Structure 1
């Protein structure tokens, strides 16, 4: 008679193993590229003792993207190979928090980089645009700080959403579908609003 697998063992299907292998190859490639960018920028920082505004944005973008890929890979690995570990109270909440935080960090930093280059290369003669073009190097650190604070707020909201149960046990009964949907919308509205 076969012994049943313990809850600690993995229950891996061929689909799960193939998916994890493909995700691992993609994540390793993305992490290598971002680590290369961060290393080149850090070497330039050590040599020059200062970073330009675009280099600051690229450095933070590379770091946040690297961390996002790490967290996303760990989450996918656990969800396919060891799904029972995601039911431990704080592991799922922390994974959701860090994934939301780093995802929104790299989105905001990418938007900052696009805005920076748009302001630098555009040739508008508007007075406020010329003011922005002159002062952009002083604005970038505050823009990056604001981006980090907004990403932290989204991460906190994501942690809060992951910490709450979304459906009660009676939500599948007759006439309760609208109630369950309203509760879900109420939980997700702050996240969508901040995003």
Structure 2
């Protein structure tokens, strides 16, 4: 890929990273200020705060990784540093995925009206179990990411011009095996939370849509504000499900190394990965009146200052 084109893609990723981190820092600061003022914090705001923190670190870490990979590739010739970076980025990815799963699992338990024993049990205890669930998310993410440092072996970034054909064949075989190892570890670590996440969103959509149909049958069309709110929630959850599937597919492609380095899609893929968590956070802000109003006030204040 042309180096100038790589720089353009990198600038786009930096812009996405800046906007995403700014949104996440705003969410964290807003909830911490309200926690300080009210001396208490709602359960879902605790989960949102942890999610915003994990996403900020993920965006910053992936930005640093792309900078080093583009401008200082020799840094990754060190096997220990390469393994450390790989473990860290996967730890942040798994943490983000598990906390997101926990967030929608919490919504599913609190919003839906299923009468199953498990739902009733969780509905009465989920608020007290939040710290334990967050700690479990971090520990599971750490356990899922550590194999990347031990099981994925180091491969040099270049092949000397004087190597034999046999060595080149061995290198290509090792590279393919390395890619398979990374993909397998990624899928094993990502599939359980992703599956739970999809099931939680499906149950939410099913419950909300069923409730919307019941309300519609007793009202005159969709003019009732409660019905409109439920329809909006169904559309939002459907959008989140689509974004999650797209994110999972892009991350799988990134780890599988099926795209050659000279292919422009090699850089487009991280751009999509950078955008999706920020889009989700932006939607959370826009759907929360207090968050949205505070952000607008900050924006107008900045405009006046400049």
TM-score normalised to structure 2 length: 0.53
What is the number of equivalent residue pairs in this alignment? 179
Q: 1:37 to 1:108 in 2, by over 3 A?
A: same
Partner of 1:160: 150
**How many Å separate the matches in 2 of 1:186 and 1:80?**
24
Q: Identify the match of residue 35 of structure 2 among 45, 51, 58.
A: 45
How many angstroms does 1:91 deviate by?
A: 2.5
Q: Which runs of 5+ in 1 are unaligned?
A: 1-11
Distance 1:38 1:91, change over 3 A: same
Q: C-alpha distance in 2, partners of 1:16/1:35?
A: 28
CA distance in structure 1 between the aligned counterparts of 2:179 and 2:11, rounded to whole angstroms:
33
In structure 2, the partner of 1:25 is: 15
Who is 1:172 aligned against? Answer: 169
Q: How much has 1:187 moved relative to structure 2?
A: 6.8
Bigger Cα displacement from structure 2, 46-55 vs 102-111: 46-55
Contact kept in structure 1, 2:148 and 2:182, CA below 8 Å:
no
Among candidates 76, 91, 100, match of residue 66 of structure 2: 76
* Counterparts of residues 65-104 of structure 1 (less than 5 Å): 65-104=55-94
Q: Distance in 2 between matches of 1:118 and 1:79?
A: 40
C-alpha distance in 2 between matches for 1:180 and 1:85: 19
Over residues 7-66 of structure 1, what are the superposed CA-to-partner deviations in whole Å (9 max), with x where a residue is unaligned?
Answer: xxxxx9212221221111111111111111111111112112232221111111000000
Q: How far apart, CA to CA, are the structure 2 residues paired with 1:111 and 1:189?
A: 21
Bigger drift between 57-66 and 140-149 goes to: 140-149
Moved more, 110-119 or 127-136: 127-136
1:135 is the counterpart of 2:125 = yes
Aligned to 1:4: none
Aligned Cα root-mean-square deviation (Å): 2.6
The structure-2 alpha-carbon separation of the partners of 1:25 and 1:143, relative to structure 1 and needing over 3 Å to count, comes to same
Gaps of at least 5 residues in structure 2 are: 157-165, 191-306
Q: Which has the higher helix share?
A: 2
- Contact kept, 8 Å, 1:86 with 1:92, in 2: the verdict is yes
Candidates 179, 188, 197, aligned match of 1:193:
188
